[in-house]
């Protein structure tokens, strides 16, 4: 029900990439949350951006001002536009969806609240 549509790859610092995910979930009123997370080996999964059914958007401090999350409710997709990429953005990126709850900033730190996960895509930023 959540599938990553690609968009990862390798880029030099300062470059851009766009990740896409399809999310065929039942959107109960506005009670759902769509998120992008990333993970590097040996570290916990980190939430970087969320968009909720209430249209609220949240970013982690590390990506605010550089990444943009958006949702296409007709196509059932959501994207992460990543600009001004840095080597520290290198990670495997996952999209995720949570149903039945409102989306607030705390959901960036709550990966266990998400019901569905994409398969992940690698993003590598070289200096």
pLDDT of residue 108: 95
pLDDT at 7: 86
Tokens of 78: 């959501």
Query: Can you give the pLDDT at residue 49?
Result: 98
What sign does the dihedral 85-87-88-90 (CA atoms) show?
Answer: positive
Kindly indicate the confidence band of residue 63, based on its pLDDT and cuts at 50, 70 and 90: very high
CA 87, CA 108: separation in Å to the nearest integer? 21
Residue 36 above 90 pLDDT? yes
pLDDT for res 69: 98
**Cα separation, 44 vs 36, whole angstroms:** 14
Rounded to whole angstroms, how far apart are CA atoms 41 and 25? 29
Q: Are 125 and 89 in contact, with CB atoms under 8 Å apart?
A: yes
């Amino acid at each position: 029900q959540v599938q990553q549509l690609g968009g990862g790859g390798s880029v030099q610092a300062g470059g851009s990439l766009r990740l896409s995910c399809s999310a065929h979930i039942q959107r109960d009123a506005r009670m759902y949350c769509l998120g992008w997370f990333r993970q590097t080996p040996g570290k916990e999964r980190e939430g970087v951006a969320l968009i909720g059914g209430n249209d609220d958007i949240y970013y982690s401090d590390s990506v605010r001002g550089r990444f943009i999350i958006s949702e296409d409710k007709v196509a059932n997709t959501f994207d992460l536009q990543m600009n001004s990429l840095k080597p520290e953005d290198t990670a495997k990126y996952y999209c995720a969806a949570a149903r039945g709850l409102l989306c607030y900033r705390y959901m960036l730190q709550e990966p266990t609240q998400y019901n569905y996960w994409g398969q992940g895509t690698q993003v590598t930023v070289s200096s």
